[in-house]
Amino acid sequence: MFKSYDEMLEELEREMRRVSDDMLLQVFRVSGMAGELWTPRVDVYETAENVVVKVCAAGLAPDQMELSISADNKFLTLRGMRVEQDDDKSERIRYYQLEVYYGPFERIVALPAEVGVDRDKLAATYKDGFLKVVLPKRKAGPTKAKIEIED
């Protein structure tokens, strides 16, 4: 099946953003300035009942991550620290490729403005290198309310 023009443009934009981010991070990393610049990749999607944020969190343990949601329910923030576990670091002579980022990170995800979430029922699970945050949609109340006018 053929993709629509809009789908192809979205895919191209995503890929261009990924390549650009990777190039900038590589420059900063080689220069020693990568400190807090890496951010984990995320997918944000909606189901009938939830907004779901899926985070690529390979090499991170649940206790190395912290999740919070803003008071207005508009932003989900993930902070943490990926620590390199290799014991042989001192034995390394030369690097040929550096693509795995270590150190502190922060990712702020804008949640869909048109979908309200129920902050009392948020849940997060970690499995096979992915953190999955499920934000149940808030049940919509009545859209109109009749207001009685008193004499």
The rounded percent of the chain whose pLDDT value lies above 70 is 85
Specify if 7 maps to a domain. Answer: yes
Question: Is residue 114 domain-resident?
Answer: yes
- Do 71 and 103 share a structural domain? yes
b/e per residue 18-41 (b: at least 16 CB within 10 A): eeeeeeebeeebeeeebeebbbbe
Residue 29 lies in a domain: yes
Q: Same structural domain for residues 3 and 64? A: no
Domain containing residue 23: 1-34
Through-space distance between the first and last CA atoms of the chain, rounded to whole angstroms: 65
Half-sphere exposure of 57 (CA within 13 A, CB side): 28
The pTM is what? Answer: 0.68
Instruction: Read off the pLDDT of residues 67-97 as tens digits, 9 standing for 90 and up.
Output: 999 998 899 999 999 988 877 778 888 888 8
Q: Is the same domain home to 8 and 71? A: no
56 touches 42 (CB < 8 A): yes
